[in-house]
Amino acid sequence: MPLPDIGDTFKDLVWDAMVRVALQALFSAVPWLGWGPIGVVVGWIVGMVANYLYSSVKMAIDLNAIALKNEEHRRAYDDAGVKLKLIAKDKGIDSPEFRAARDDHKKRLAAFVKFAS
């Protein structure tokens, strides 16, 4: 039973956060781009371009080779991985329990992702 790729977790935790920060900076620099329907269209276009760039980066970089430097991050990541593997083995990766646990672990691991502004 294959577990979700770490690249998907990287996208959820880091890449999407960087795109949100970039959109906020864009809307702060050019406020009328964030107004009403224009903001929706601009956000949609930026999202499409970001997803294309991510898929290109994902093919070029082995995201599994990224090492976690902080021991606390490493322990939290390993703990989440073991728990998800056990749930996947017992209930399957399509079970609601697995999906809920994966979403919970994403939220808890997202606390380690910080961007200095």
Half-sphere exposure of 115 (CA within 13 A, CB side): 13
Q: Report residue 38 as tokens.
A: 């224009």
Helices 96-110 & 71-91 angle (0-180, nearest 10): 170
pLDDT in the model for residue 1: 46
Condensed to tens digits (0 to 9), the pLDDT of residues 19-34 reads 999 999 999 999 888 8
Condensed to tens digits (0 to 9), the pLDDT of residues 39-67 reads 899 999 999 999 898 888 776 666 555 55
